[in-house]
Amino acid sequence: MQYIANPDRYTNMQYRRCGKSGLKLSALSLGLWHNFGNVDQLQNSTNIIKLAFDSGITHFDLANNYGPPRGSAEENFGRILRDNFAGYRDEMVISSKAGYAMWDGPYGDWGSKKHLVSSMDQSLKRMGLDYVDIFYHHRPHPETPLEETMATLDLFVRQGKALYVGISNYPAPEAAAAISMLRDMGTPCLIHQPKYSMLERWVENGLLDVLDKEGVGCIAFSPLAQGLLTNKYLQGIPEDSRAAKPSGFLQKEQITPRILEQVNALNTLAVERGQTLAEMALSWILRDERITSVLVGASRPEQLSDSLKCLENLAFTEQELQHIDSVLAN
């Protein structure tokens, strides 16, 4: 049966202007870092994307190396797009990135023009697209001149392969330099994608101020700290969790008694607010008007439904914010 999107999909979602651009993004965006590769069930991935779109999520975030295996998330997203969303492309903001390891050899990584051009062409082919809405450089490269990387992003816009460009994982000084270069080239930097959560707040030490001053949007990834800011780890490390897997991004060593004490204290506050810990963690990021959107992942539709509930309570009292800061001190 042909998929028909929910006609009320824009009713309950919030949309925020991305910096000083003309583009708005949904307050929650769907990240395809995990759960959309060839090791995952395509029908489950399809159901998650349909639920996202039906709920008003318009931004779908990928990268060339998402999977596993690398590239398979883009391939599967392209298949889902063709089979279900052919008539909805102009209602979607689709992004991709390059800058982490994608293929062997000296050209499969980092920030050279050679790597970025090849990556862009591969990503468009995998997804079956003529262009992406946003293309990011995934991380700065100390051995590639910043001018070379930014000039390549500018080239993509001029070629029509990307409508907008952005950066990810750039510290404040490098971000300021990249934004300035792109502006001088005539292609403004639309957005920055940093890691940001209650447990990782480095962006507050200058980066958010730079983005606000320069009129650049901000979209946070890993807002739940790889699951630490959910109910999953309140009693320790479950056997089926990411932290229990030696190859995971979240390691057992990171879950210290102090971290467990903090997340349990945060969970107590969340319950008082009528939220789950995950809902409060997402709401806490979105309380800041400098944040355009938050990237959420999901391994099943129910997880995405839970994340969407954060939009029901974005307001924090000054006392709640002070309590959160005191819990997370040191």
Residue showing tokens 């210290």: 256
Domains, the chain, in order of start with CATH, read: 15-227+287-299 (3.20.20.100)
What does the pLDDT read at residue 138? 97
Residue of 198, 218, 221, 197 whose CA lies nearest to 208: 218
Does residue 306 contact residue 235 with C-beta atoms inside 8 Å?
no
The CA distance from 175 to 105, in Å, is 27
Q: Which residues contact 49 (CB under 8 A, 6 or more apart)?
A: 30, 60, 77, 80, 84, 85
Q: What mean pLDDT is predicted for residues 181-207?
A: 98
Long-range pairs, 252-257, Cβ under 8 A, ≥24: 254/228, 255/228
Task: Return the minimum-mean-pLDDT range out of 53-57, 153-157, 227-231, 241-245.
Answer: 241-245
Name the 3-class secondary structure at 163.
Answer: strand
Residue 118 has pLDDT above 90, yes or no: yes
Residue 170 has pLDDT above 60, yes or no: yes
Task: Return the minimum-mean-pLDDT range out of 77-86, 139-148, 227-236, 285-294.
Answer: 227-236
Name the 3-class secondary structure at 167.
Answer: strand
Helix axes 72-84, 42-54, angle to 10 degrees: 60
Name the 3-class secondary structure at 59.
Answer: strand
- Residue 210 CA to its chain's centroid (Å): 19
What does the pLDDT read at residue 255? 82
- The encoded tokens of residue 216 equal 């650049």
Q: Considering the chain, what is the average pLDDT of its residues?
A: 95
Task: Give residue 330's pLDDT band: very low, low, confident or very high (50, 70, 90).
Answer: low
What does the pLDDT read at residue 24? 98
The CA distance from 120 to 124, in Å, is 6
Long-range pairs, 200-206, Cβ under 8 A, ≥24: 200/225, 201/328, 205/172, 206/172
Residue 78 has pLDDT above 60, yes or no: yes
The percent of residues above 70 in pLDDT, for the chain, comes to 95
- The encoded tokens of residue 257 equal 């008694």
Using the Cα atoms of residue 129, residue 11, residue 286 and residue 292 in order, give the sign of their dihedral. Answer: positive
Q: Is the peptide bond before 142 cis (omega within 30 degrees of 0)?
A: no
Q: What are 126-150's pLDDT values in tens digits?
A: 999 999 999 999 999 999 999 999 9
The percent of residues above 90 in pLDDT, for the chain, comes to 91
What does the pLDDT read at residue 234? 87
Q: What are 216-275's pLDDT values in tens digits?
A: 999 999 999 999 999 988 876 665 555 545 556 665 677 889 999 999 999 999 999 999
The CA distance from 118 to 64, in Å, is 10
β-bridge pairing 162-168 and 189-193: parallel
Instruction: Enumerate the H helices of the chain as residue ranges.
Output: 42-54, 72-84, 113-127, 146-159, 172-185, 207-214, 257-272, 277-286, 301-308, 318-327
Name the 3-class secondary structure at 18.
Answer: coil
